[in-house]
Amino acid sequence: MSSVTVDHVPGKAHDHSHDHEHAMPHGWRRWLFATNHKDIGTMYLIFSLVMLFEGGALALLLRTELFEPGLQFFQPELFNQFTTMHGLIMVFGAVMPAFVGFANWMIPLQIGASDMAFARMNNFSFWLLPVAAILLTASFFVPGGATAAGWTLYAPLTMQMGPGMDLAIFAVHIMGASSIMGAINIVVTILNMRAPGMTLMKMPMFCWTWLITAYLLIAVMPVLAAAITMVLTDRHFGTGFFNAAAGGDPVLYQHIFWFFGHPEVYIMILPAFGIVSAIVPAFARKRLFGYASMVYATASIAILSFIVWAHHMFTTGMPVTGQLYFMYATMLISIPTGVKVFNWVATMWRGSMTFETPMLFSVGFIFVFTIGGFTGLILSMAPIDIQVHDTYYVVAHFHYVLVAGSLFALFAGAYYWMPKWTGRMYDERLGKWHFWMSMISFNVTFFPMHFLGLAGMPRRYADYAAQFADFHMIATIGAFWFGLSQLIFVWVIVKSYSGKGEPAPAKPWEAAEGLEWTVPSPAPFHTFETPPVVK
């Protein structure tokens, strides 16, 4: 990021809470009618943590069944429901809302705005989410159970499901509406509400990555909403968009879904890049290497994400020319991604590095995410992808990107900004335990899945041949280890929020840059009511 110096920080004049006690509601009204970006950010973060544990519990149920070959605990129908709901909950309930929580908390603080542009819409965006989560979870208890069509909700499976499918469609509609409103809020906040002097090219990378992510959301969420609306009309209103018997085309659904689905992958990783781009310079005590190239790389990844969707569909029988186009276009993404990884490493090069928990998670992110990136490159090659399509190789790949990528960056960001949120330093010893336990157990869980996939183990199967038993057993042990490790994180949060850590100064990290460190810790209820002047 370009150097930001603040001429004066009028927000500081309003730091004393008694100045604004009249404007800070108390009790349940504070949360139900919340319009304050920090309160809404906190609610998003708590919601996503709850959903992370719900999705995680479903994952552990899957791993329990897969511990040994044969069916021990669940019938395949229920297993498929768990698989589907694990995916939907993690994508729409945990990862996306967590990043929106970070955006709510940090974007106004980083650009010197008093709040988000549409404070009431912000409240509505959040409160839609618990409704959707209840719908999704309740779908387990309707006749036929939850949808078992996979998180991609492919036709014709969606035609064969019970009412749980309709609940899932409504839930995804609601979460989509929430995401669209959140994205519009973020774009308008960044475009219209930056402090004087905070030019776009002076913004922290986190704001840049979120600005680009928000554009992606606005462009693709309506497409998903349209796709599942057509699924709904196919199911109940006599249309035949995706029904071959009625003149429709199930593969058409896949095209529409992945036109949303591939940008969605970047929606879940670009803000993670922004978080890591904030943390690495702070703990390497150097400026971010190649700020402008980071911005352009982020934009390039976003643009490319729109033109590669059919690499998820190499086995659907597209012409060779189509395969070649999608293969080469997909490979192109490795260039801007490589620029980013290079820049993070170059930032660390000859820096005065220390390895507090946020930095550990960030370096861990770079290391493990890169492995996920490489397996993505391998999967981009049509001849290989056709061999390992729908195998555990793919499962391993996207968990390296989504868990070690998105989730580790979320942990890094949580530790980095927790002093600003709570006013207390987190427990460094527990944080380091959390990192090492997560890092090791993550690899124990997911690395063997590469071998399973290469050996031909299909994904979404409740049972398997005896030859896969050893790797599955290791993966299950790793999964429980990983799940239990996350309890350390809860412990860290509870300690920090209950005021047990050391009081945090306004700027706990000596080399951290950005306006958020110019306000006290915890950040007062109202900040930057008079915008700071950025030079």
The verdict on whether 334 is a catalytic residue reads no
Cα separation, 220 vs 226, whole angstroms: 10
Stretch that binds another protein, among 3-11, 227-235, 305-313, 404-412 (CB under 8 A): 227-235
Q: Which position among 115, 166, 356, 427 bears the catalytic label?
A: 115
Which C-beta is closer to another protein: that of 261 or that of 413?
261
Stretch that binds another protein, among 217-225, 273-281, 359-367, 373-381 (CB under 8 A): 217-225
Work out whether 192 is an interface residue with another protein (CB under 8 A).
yes
The CA-atom distances, in angstroms, between 190 and each of 13, 193, 201 are 24, 6, 12
The verdict on whether 39 is a catalytic residue reads no
Stretch that binds another protein, among 16-24, 79-87, 178-186, 389-397 (CB under 8 A): 178-186
- Least distance CB 40 / another protein (angstroms): 16
Q: Write out the two tokens for 272.
A: 């993670």
Contact 147, 161 (CB under 8 A): yes
Cα separation, 17 vs 24, whole angstroms: 9
Taking residue 147's Cβ as centre, other Cβ atoms within 10 Å add up to 29
Residue by residue, DSSP assigns 162-187 as: -HHHHHHHHHHHHHHHHHHHHHHHHH
Question: Which alpha helices (DSSP H) does 402-508 contain, by range?
Answer: 408-422, 428-454, 469-497
Q: Which residues between 242 and 281 bind another protein (CB under 8 A)?
A: 247-249, 252, 256
Work out whether 223 is an interface residue with another protein (CB under 8 A).
yes
Question: Which alpha helices (DSSP H) does 158-290 contain, by range?
Answer: 163-192, 205-236, 250-267, 270-284
The verdict on whether 509 is a catalytic residue reads no
Q: How many residues bind another protein (CB under 8 A)?
A: 29
Q: Which amino acid, one-letter code, is at 484?
A: L
Q: What's the chain's length in residues?
A: 535
Work out whether 241 is an interface residue with another protein (CB under 8 A).
yes
Work out whether 187 is an interface residue with another protein (CB under 8 A).
yes
The verdict on whether 393 is a catalytic residue reads no
Please compute, for residue 368, the number of CA atoms within 13 A of its CA located in the half-sphere on the CB side. 29
Q: Which residue from 180, 279, 301, 449 is in contact with another protein, where contact means CB under 8 A?
A: 180
Please compute, for residue 390, the number of CA atoms within 13 A of its CA located in the half-sphere on the CB side. 9
Write out the H or E segment, with its range, that includes residue 151: none
Which C-beta is closer to another protein: that of 214 or that of 493?
214
Work out whether 188 is an interface residue with another protein (CB under 8 A).
yes
- Least distance CB 337 / another protein (angstroms): 26
Q: Which amino acid, one-letter code, is at 74?
A: F
Q: Is residue 136 left, alpha or beta, with left meaning phi > 0 and alpha meaning psi from -120 to 50?
A: alpha
Q: Which position among 83, 277, 476, 518 bears the catalytic label?
A: 277
The verdict on whether 286 is a catalytic residue reads no
The verdict on whether 399 is a catalytic residue reads no
Q: Which residue has tokens 């993966």? A: 475
Cα separation, 241 vs 239, whole angstroms: 6
- Least distance CB 180 / another protein (angstroms): 6
Q: Which residues between 90 and 149 bind another protein (CB under 8 A)?
A: 114-115, 117-118
- Least distance CB 121 / another protein (angstroms): 8
- Least distance CB 246 / another protein (angstroms): 9
Q: Which residues between 495 and 534 bind another protein (CB under 8 A)?
A: none
Stretch that binds another protein, among 54-62, 220-228, 322-330, 334-342 (CB under 8 A): 220-228
Work out whether 184 is an interface residue with another protein (CB under 8 A).
yes
The verdict on whether 262 is a catalytic residue reads yes
Q: Which position among 125, 139, 178, 496 bears the catalytic label?
A: 178
Angle at the Cα of 89 from the Cα atoms of 83 and 95, rounded to 5 degrees? 125
Cis? peptide before 522, omega within 30° of 0: yes
Q: Which position among 311, 397, 399, 526 bears the catalytic label?
A: 311
Work out whether 225 is an interface residue with another protein (CB under 8 A).
yes
Contact 534, 4 (CB under 8 A): yes
Please compute, for residue 274, the number of CA atoms within 13 A of its CA located in the half-sphere on the CB side. 28
Q: Which residue from 222, 250, 322, 483 is in contact with another protein, where contact means CB under 8 A?
A: 222
Contact 157, 149 (CB under 8 A): yes
Q: Which residue from 52, 227, 280, 308 is in contact with another protein, where contact means CB under 8 A?
A: 227
The CA-atom distances, in angstroms, between 4 and each of 8, 199, 355 are 12, 10, 25
Q: Which residues between 381 and 420 bind another protein (CB under 8 A)?
A: none
Rg (CA), the chain: 23
The verdict on whether 86 is a catalytic residue reads yes
Cis? peptide before 156, omega within 30° of 0: yes
The verdict on whether 337 is a catalytic residue reads yes
- Least distance CB 157 / another protein (angstroms): 19
Q: Write out the two tokens for 399.
A: 């968990």
The verdict on whether 20 is a catalytic residue reads no
**What binding mask, one character per residue, do residues 343-382 give for another protein by CB under 8 A, x or -?**
----------------------------------------
Q: Which residues, in sequence order, are CB contacts of 19 under 8 Å at separation 6+?
A: none
Which C-beta is closer to another protein: that of 244 or that of 494?
244
Residue 410: name the closest of 444, 347, 356, 365 by CA. 365
Q: Which residue from 90, 221, 395, 412 is in contact with another protein, where contact means CB under 8 A?
A: 221
Q: Which residue has tokens 């190499």? A: 314
The verdict on whether 340 is a catalytic residue reads yes
Q: Which position among 39, 264, 385, 516 bears the catalytic label?
A: 264
Note the residues at the interface with another protein (CB under 8 A).
114-115, 117-118, 180, 184-185, 187-188, 191-193, 218-219, 221-223, 225-227, 229-230, 240-241, 247-249, 252, 256
Which of the residues are catalytic? 86, 115, 151, 178-179, 262, 264, 266, 277, 311-312, 337, 340, 459
